[in-house]
Structure 1
Amino acid sequence: MASKAERTTAYIIETVAPIFNRQGYIGTSMNDLTEATGLTKGAIYGNFENKEALALSAFEYNSKILLEAIDEQLAVEGTALDKLFQLTKFYRNYDVFTFKMGGCPILNVGIDAKYNNHLLRAAAGETLRLIEGKIALVLENGVKNNELKLPVTPLQFAKQLYTMLQGAIAMATMSDDRKYLINTIAYLDLLVQKEIKK
C-alpha cells in the first residue's frame, strides 16, 4: 500500500498535469498549482525539487496515459491493417480522449517547451519517437507478413503518418474545428487501403 507521502505526490501530479498541459510551463503560476491542489507552496515543494521537476512529472504522467492507450490500440488481434485502422479509429476521437489531459501532451508541451525548457522538450520528443516506433513496428510486421507494400522504410512511413495525425490535431485545436481531424483520418484510411495494402 502506498504511503501518505506517495499518495500526496500522486495527487499533486494528477491534479496539476492538465494545468501544465493546457497553460504551459511558463504560463502556469505557483498560485495556479496551490489553488488546484489546495496545498501550500511548501507542501508542493516538499514533494518536488522545483517547478521544472513537477512539470516534467506531470508530462510523464500524461505521456504514460497516452502511450498505454496507443499500445492498447496496436495490440488488437488481426493483421497490420486491422491495427492501423484501430489506431486511426482512436485518433478520430483523440480530442475527446485528451480533453481531461488539457489537450494533446505532445503538441502542447513540445511547442510550449521548444525554446524555454529543454528537459520538457526532450521528454516530448522522446514520446513522439516512441509512438513513431510503435507504428513502424506494425508496418514492418505487415511487410514481413506480406500484408503491406511500402514505398519507403516502415519508420519513414510511420513518421509521415504520424506527421499527418499531429498536423490534423494542431489544426483542429487551433481552429476549434474537429473536421480537420475527421477528414485527415478519413484520408489516411483511404491512403492505407489503396496505397499500401497488398
Structure 2
Amino acid sequence: MSTKAERTTKYIIETVAPIFNKHGYVGTSMSHLTEATGLTKGAIYGNFENKEALALAAFEYNRNIILQKVDDLLNVEGTALDKINSIINFYRQYDVFTLSMGGCPILNIGVDAQHNNSLLAAANKETIKEIEGKIALVLENGVNANEIKIPVPPLQFSKQLYTILQGAVAMGTMTRDRKYLMNTMAYLEQLISREIRK
C-alpha cells in the first residue's frame, strides 16, 4: 500500500502533467501549479527538488502513456503488417487520445524544451528513439518471418514512418485541422501497401 507522501506525489504529477505539456517549461508558472493542485508552493516542492524535476516527472508520466499505447498497438494479433496498420489507424484519432494530456507531449515538449531545458529535450529525444525502435523491431521480425519485404533497413523505414506520423500531428496541431491526420493516414495506408510486400 502506498504512503500518503507517495499518493501526494502521484497526484501532483498526474495533475500538472497536462499543464506542463500545454504551457511548456517556461510558460508554466507556480500559480498554474498551485491552482490546479490546490496545494501550496511548499507542499509541491516538498515532493520535488525543483521545477525542473517536476517538469521531467510530468513529461515521463505523459510519455509512459504514449509508450504503453504504442506497445499495445504493436502487440495486436497478426502479422507485422497488421501491427503497423494498427499504429496508422490509431493516429487517425491521435489528437483525441492526447486531448486530456494537453496535446502531443512529444511535439509540445520537444519543441518547447529545445532552447530552455536540456534534460527535457534529452528525455524527449530518447522517447522518439524508443518509439522508432519498437516499430523497427516489428518490421525486422516481419522480414525475418518472411511476412514482409521492405525497401530499406527496418530502422530507416521506422524513422521515415514516424517522421510522417509526427509531421501530420504537427500540422494538425498548428492548423487545428484534423484533415492532416485523416489524409496522411489514408496516404500512409496506400504507401505501406505498396512499400511493404509479402
Aligned residue for 1:41? 41
1:173 corresponds to which residue? 173
Residue 99 of structure 1 is matched in structure 2 by: 99
Superposition map of 1:32-71 within 5 A: 32-71=32-71
CA distance in 2, matches of 1:124, 1:191: 28
Question: Which residue of the partner structure matches residue 189 of structure 1?
Answer: 189
Q: Is the CA contact (8 Å cut-off) linking 1:75 and 1:83 kept in structure 2?
A: yes
Q: Spell out the pairing of 1:19-168 with structure 2 (5 A cutoff).
A: 19-168=19-168
- Partner AA of 1:46 in structure 2: G
Query: Using the alignment, how far apart are the partners of 2:85 and 2:150 within structure 1?
Result: 16
CA deviation string 1:93-151 (max 9, x = no partner)? 00000000011011000100001100000000000000000000011011111121111
Kindly state the Cα deviation for residue 197 of structure 1 after the two structures are TM-superposed.
2.0
Find the residue that maps to 1:77 and give its secondary structure: coil
Q: Give CA-to-partner distance per residue, 1:146-167, whole Å, 9 cap, x none.
A: 1211111100000000000000
Question: Which consecutive residues of structure 1, in runs of 5 or more, have no partner in the other structure?
Answer: none
What is the TM-score of this pair, normalised by structure 2?
Answer: 0.99
Gaps of 5+ in 2: none
Q: Distance in 1 between matches of 2:27 and 2:147?
A: 47
**Matched residue count:** 198
1:3 maps to which residue?
3
SS at match of 2:26: coil
Aligned CA RMSD, in angstroms, stands at 0.6
After TM superposition, the score normalised by the length of structure 1 is: 0.99
Give percent identity, aligned residues only.
Answer: 71
Would the aligned equivalents of 1:81 and 1:197 in 2 still touch at CA under 8 Å?
no
Q: Which amino acid aligns with 1:185?
A: M
Moved over 4 A (4+): none
Matched position secondary structure for 2:25: coil
Task: Report the residue type matching 1:3 in the other structure.
Answer: T
Note the C-alpha offset of 1:194.
Answer: 1.5
